[in-house]
Chains A and B, each alone.
Chain A
Amino acid sequence: MKKKLDFKNFSIYFDQYLFISITLLSIMGLFFLYSASQEDFNTVMKQSIFVGFGLILMFAVSQLDPDFYKTFSGFFLLTSIILILATIVFGKEINGAKRWLDLGLFSLQTSELIKISLPIFLASYLYNKPLPISPKHTFIMLILIVFIFFLVYRQPDLGTGLVVFMAGIYILFLAGLSWKFIFTSFGLIVLSLPFLWNNFLQPFQRQRILTFLDPSNDPYGSSWNITQSKIAIGSGGMSGKGFQQGSQAHLNFLPEAETDFIFAVIAEEFGFVGVCILLSIFFFILLRCLYLAFNARDRFCRLTIGGLSLVFASTLLINLGMVVGIIPVVGMPMPFISKGGSSLLSFYIAFGIIISMATHKKLMQK
């Protein structure tokens, strides 16, 4: 239950269900990472600092009143956009992509922040608009969403770009986008797919999709990753090969074992049983978010909780779908598990905000 503890005129806002399950996930993640990184203690140390810091951050963020986020949502969005622009100018390039801004202590993947600030801004913009959302507001919001999508996509980071785009669309949809508009634009998107294919996808991205559709057509060997991932998962069987016993990960057959493909390591070492246990924790978190959204104090909170939890769910599903080969490889971390500080911190912040939205009650609802 969400709680409001009275502590000598000082209230602590806290949701033990989310807090415990997220902490549990984070700690499990550290163990998985230890194995996936082939027992690299440094990697795990670094990650645990992020986890510790992230949990504190989550707690701190949840103490602030939703009105604070509502008021400053524009400022947050603007800051995120500026950081992305700064990344485009000053960012360091890794593997042909400029996604990281060197902040001295660590490198920040700036697109991770906008996954949070965009839905909050949209929620704060739309919470007081009458139903259904008027074409004017729809149009303004769509422009904003597409603009931000392009900022991220240009880095290039199609995966995060898509999540950001979806985050925007979720809020619009939840806030009451008219069905007529939804069906019309869906039709238009389907019609414009060939155009998008030809003009917006990098050759390697097109190749990934082609390879995904037809694994035998693989001139650049891009299905190597997915093949090895499937072997890792499949060879785990019912109960897995045991902690640190995964040959696919430990003999380097599995690419990106610490980041995008960490799920394959888990599946290899802990089997179907381990997968089910892990996923039930994620499942529990999502159900808890659904419950919290239903009981939120106002429309802004509802939209924010709904939007952020859907960003979380989308990230997870894209990652899982990619690892088992039901969607093309796009580069998406597994929330709270994969190595990478930016993604980790952004989800702690997101859940901090969700807890804030869920626990701050007003005696008199407007």
Chain B
Amino acid sequence: MINLEERVVEKKSFFNRLIIIYLFFALIFIFFLERTYSLQISEFSNYEIAAIENKTKEVLVQPVRGIIYDRNGNIIVNNFPSYDLIIKPWKILDLNKFIEEISIVIELNPGEIDFVTENFKRKARYNRELILKKDLTRVEIARFEVRGFNFPNAFIDKRYSRRHNYPHLFSHAIGYVGGINNEKLSSILDDQALDFDETIFSYSNGFLIGKTGIENKYDKILRGLYGKKIYEVDARGKLVKQTDYIQPKNGDSLFTSLDLESHKVAYEKMNNRRGAVVAVEIESGSIVTYLSTPSFSSNDISNGISSKAFNALLKDPNKPFFDRAAQGRYSPASTIKPAIGLFGLEENLIDWNFSINDPGYFILPEDQRVYRGWRKSGHGNVNLNKAIIVSSNTFFFSLAYQSDIDSLINHLSNFGFGKNICLDCFNPDIGLLPTPEWKMNNLNFGWFKGDTVNLGVGQGYLSATPLQFAYYASFIANKGSNKRLTFVDSQTTKTLENLPLKNIQNSDWDKLHSSMIGVINDPQGTAKRLKDLKTYTVAAKSGTVELVSTETKEDYKIIRENEGNRDHAIIIAFGPMPEPKYAVSVIIENGESGGSVAGPVAIAVLNSLIEK
């Protein structure tokens, strides 16, 4: 027992100590209150955002790509709907029973059943849809329409595939679409300030991007803008309800300058030979024909092809994937002669009356080396007009011999050689316009006079693509001015580019055109066989690209046993004269004769463009 005095002391001590603890608790409590205040008031906006981010899920909605038309409004590439049967797993209690019942209406193969069984639980947990069967037939759709009321948790949804209406005609011009890598996808979504996330696809193949050709160059226009559905989700990521929907903006249609009929003709005439056909509308610089053969089905590549068939295409020695029109490098051969002739006139090295004797060869004075023409006996007395018509090598060897190489190269570059002359082509090659520096750097040899002489007939190092040849043809047709080439006029701005000539008169151009008309119309013309294939006048220049240098016709007969050694056939042409509308270039690899092999293709294409 404690006494009264002690009781007072005890009471006082108790009070003090209880107060101490209460004060201590009060401190903690104030600290707590400060924390709550800072969470709820000071940092409110951060946490508000965090809470919204927690519960918000954005699901991307894929837009449908734009349609691609030819210049006459024919649809070249479209979106083709297919119909998939889709189920809502979270509403289906017994999957086996469901499959059993729906199998009566729509037959399912074991692979489809396995796929559904495998993914069912996961999709159900997160309230996600699941594709039960892809690409329903019309019969299946009809059966489901009639009996679908039994299956409220299944529905048919439209999914597109990208379809070319003429799968082989535009494989390189339009190109194809394919899957997209993550990096590219994120950068596309970044442009729209979206994050990569779950997506509701409009295409059965998922994300698409233009891989080649116009599909690639104009991907941004064709693609459209992704939409998004905004859902409220719970902590497990389960969709609770849709709170907002921003519709996707489908891609814009693209009206190209391509001409369907001319492609049909070119494709038929090329008949799967290796080569390319490019035709342009001279005034606008619009590409109307763009064909590289052999070609491939762009539908197969876009929408699935067996790996066996794909490998066969890859290993095909004719290289169907190779875009010869924009990437194939070919020597211009004799087609360069009009440009060389113009150089002679411009530099006052020759005039239209100047003539030389063509004995069938040219001897380089420096080393007595012999440069031969295509005709052993030569062409006798030739002036520029005749030299173009009969394609005299000696005349142009001799003219090139007198030329200053730097001026000549500069002159040729104005015709589009060694330059990119297309504004919206897919990966165009610029060919090769050789210079002495180039030769020293790449071949470790100085420039010989003989190199300049070879340049005079378009042999040697100079090379260009069929696209450049078409530009070149158009440039001559338009008398030294041209617009850069394009597929889509509305999306490009083009200015007229002029050849800076001082001494060439309009009459010179007329004479040149007349010589090139002579190539077809003159009895001595190298392409005289084309004369009756048309009803209007065409100017042309044919060429034969030597792949293996031979001294005699007998030697050539030996080497031509191997098809790969045969000369390439090349022609440039434009018409109708005297006011040409279209220019065309045709290359047929190992076709041997520019005039009689490549020529008919060029004329057929011009016919389809001109004679409507």
> What residues of chain A have their CB less than 8 Å away from a CB belonging to chain B?
128, 130-131, 170, 173-176, 228, 230-238, 247-248, 251-253, 267-268, 271-272, 275, 279, 283, 286, 290, 293-294, 299, 302-303, 306, 310, 313-314, 317, 320-321, 324-326
| A326-B35 in contact given A234-B48, A235-B47, A252-B234 (Cβ < 8 Å) | yes
B54 & A234 in contact (Cβ 8 Å cutoff): no
Q: Which of B13, B28, B44, B235 makes the CB contact (< 8 A) with A253?
A: B235
Partner of B41, one of A237, A317, A326: A237
Which residue on B lies nearest to A274, using beta carbons?
Answer: B40
Q: Sample 7 A-B pairs with CB under 8 A, ordered by A number.
A: A174-B14, A228-B54, A235-B52, A272-B41, A290-B18, A302-B11, A306-B14
Least CB separation from B39: chain A residue: A234
Closest B residue to A234 by beta carbon equals B47
- Cβ of B503 < 8 Å from any Cβ of A? no
Q: How far is the CA of A344 from the CA of B198 in the complex (A)?
A: 46
Whether A306 and B40, one on each chain, are in contact in the complex, defined by CB atoms closer than 8 angstroms, is no
> B44 contacts which of A238, A294, A310, A326 (Cβ < 8 Å)?
A238
The answer to whether B14 touches A128 (Cβ under 8 A) is: no
A293 to B55 CA separation, bound complex (whole angstroms): 48
Q: Are A317 and B32 in contact (CB under 8 A)?
A: yes
Q: A286–B25 Cα gap in the complex (Å)?
A: 11
**Partner among A128, A231, A302, A326 whose Cβ is within 8 Å of the Cβ of B31:** A326
Q: Which residue of B lies closest to A231 (CB)?
A: B50
Chain B nearest CB from A325 CB (Å) reads 8
CB neighbours (8 Å) of A234 from chain B are 39-40, 43-44, 46-48, 50-51
Q: A233-B47, A235-B51, A294-B15 are in contact. List 12 more A-B contacts (CB 8 A).
A: A131-B9, A231-B50, A237-B44, A251-B55, A251-B235, A253-B54, A253-B234, A283-B29, A286-B25, A290-B22, A317-B32, A326-B32
A151 to chain B, nearest CB (A): 25
Q: A238-B41, A313-B25 are in contact. Are A299 and B14 (CB under 8 A)?
A: yes
Nearest CB in chain B: distance from A141 CB, A:
16
Q: Are B21 and A310 in contact (CB under 8 A)?
A: yes
Task: Verify if B129 is at the interface (C-beta below 8 Å from A).
Answer: no
- Check A233/B232 contact, CB under 8 A, given A128-B2, A248-B51, A299-B14: no
Asked if B510 is an interface residue, CB under 8 A from chain A, the answer is: no
Interface residues of B (CB under 8 A from A): 1-2, 6-7, 9-11, 13-15, 17-18, 21-22, 25, 28-29, 31-33, 35-37, 39-41, 43-44, 46-48, 50-52, 54-55, 232-236, 240
Q: Which 6 residue pairs spanning A and B have beta carbons closest together?
A: A234-B47, A235-B51, A251-B234, A252-B235, A234-B39, A272-B40
Indicate whether A174 sits within 8 Å of B17 (C-beta atoms), given known contacts A233-B39, A313-B25: yes
Interchain CB contact under 8 A, B40 and A236: yes
Q: What residues of A have a CB within 8 angstroms of the CB of B22 in the complex?
A: 286, 290
Q: Which of A236, A237, A251, A293 contacts B18 (CB 8 A)?
A: A293
Question: Which residues of B are found within 8 Å of A320, using beta-carbon distances?
Answer: 32
Query: Would you call B54 and A128 a contact (CB within 8 A)?
Result: no
Given known A-B contacts A231-B54, A247-B54, A299 and B44 have beta carbons under 8 A apart: no
Tell me the nearest residue of chain A to B2, going by C-beta. Answer: A130
| Contact call B9/A251, Cβ cutoff below 8 A | no
- Cβ of B10: which chain A residues have Cβ within 8 Å of it? 131, 176, 299
| A251 touching B233 in the complex, CB below 8 Å, given contacts A272-B36, A290-B22, A293-B18 | yes
Inter-chain CA distance A313–B36, complex, in Å, is: 18
Contact of A247 among B14, B21, B28, B55 (CB under 8 A): B55
Known contacts A128-B2, A238-B44; is-contact A324 B14 (Cβ 8 Å): no
Q: Is the CB of A275 within 8 A of B36?
A: yes
- CB-CB < 8 A to A173: which residues of B? 17, 21
CA distance A313 to B232 in the complex (A): 39
Which residues on the A side are within 8 Å of B39 (C-beta)? 230, 233-234, 267, 324
Q: Give Cα A158–Cα B29 distance, bound, in whole angstroms.
A: 22
* B235:A238 contact, CB within 8 angstroms: no
Q: Which of B6, B13, B15, B39 has the most CB of A within 10 A?
A: B39
CB distance from B304 to the nearest CB of A (A): 40
A317 to B52 Cα, complex, angstroms: 29
CB distance from A215 to the nearest CB of B (A): 14
For A231, the chain B residues whose CB sits under 8 A away are 47, 50-51, 54
Are B40 and A170 within 8 A (Cβ)? no
A298 to chain B, nearest CB (A): 9
* Residue contact A302 to B51, C-beta cutoff 8 Å: no
Contact status B54-A131, CB under 8 Å: no
- Among B36, B50, B232, the one with the most A-chain Cβ atoms within 10 Å of its Cβ is B36
Complexed CA–CA distance, A130 and B43 (Å): 53
Q: Are B28 and A317 in contact (CB under 8 A)?
A: yes
Residues on A with beta carbons closer than 8 Å to the beta carbon of B1: 128
Residues of chain B with a CB closer than 8 A to A321's CB: 28, 32
Give Cα A228 to B50, complex, Å.
9
Most chain A CB atoms below 10 A, which of B14, B44, B50, B232: B14
Known: A234-B39, A238-B44, A252-B235. A131 touches B13 (CB 8 A): yes
Contact B40 A237 (CB under 8 A): yes
Given A253-B54, A306-B14, answer yes or no on A324-B36 (Cβ-Cβ < 8 Å).
yes
In the assembled complex, how far is the CB of residue B181 from the closest CB belonging to chain A, in whole angstroms? 31
Please tell me which one of the listed residues A230, A248, A303 contacts residue B14 in the complex, with CB atoms under 8 A apart. Answer: A303
CB distance from B318 to the nearest CB of A (A): 59
CB-CB < 8 A to B31: which residues of A? 326
In the assembly, what is the distance between CA of A317 and CA of B36, in Å? 13
**A1 CB, nearest partner CB in chain B, Å:** 20
- Measured in the bound complex, the distance between the Cα atoms of B18 and A234 in whole Å is 34
Given A130-B6, A299-B10, A321-B32, check contact A253 B55 (CB 8 Å): yes
Evaluate contact between A306 and B18: CB separation under 8 angstroms: yes
Tell me, rounded to whole Å, the shortest Cβ–Cβ distance linking A244 to chain B: 15
Q: How far does the alpha carbon of A286 sit from the alpha carbon of B41 in the complex, in Å? A: 27
Closest A residue to B37 using CB positions? A272
Q: Which residue of B lies closest to A314 (CB)?
A: B25
Question: Roughly how many angstroms separate A283 CA and B1 CA in the complex, as a whole number?
Answer: 35
Q: Is the CB of B25 within 8 A of A271?
A: no
Nearest Cβ in chain A — how far from B40, in angstroms? Answer: 4
Q: Which single member of B7, B11, B36 contacts A233 (CB below 8 Å)?
A: B36
Q: Which residues of A contact B51 (CB under 8 A)?
A: 231-232, 234-235, 247-248, 268
B44 touches A251 (CB 8 A): no
Q: For residue B18, which residues in chain A have a CB less than 8 angstroms away from its CB?
A: 174, 290, 293, 306
Chain A residues, Cβ within 8 Å of B50: 231, 234-235
**Shortest Cβ distance from residue B504 to the other chain A in the assembled complex, whole angstroms:** 76
Q: Among the listed A131, A235, A325, which residue makes an inter-chain contact with B48, where contact means beta carbons less than 8 Å apart?
A: A235
- Name which residue of chain B comes closest to A307, CB basis: B18
Residue with the highest number of chain A CB atoms closer than 10 Å, among B22, B29, B51, B52: B51
Contact of A324 among B35, B41, B52 (CB under 8 A): B35
CB distance from B587 to the nearest CB of A (A): 65
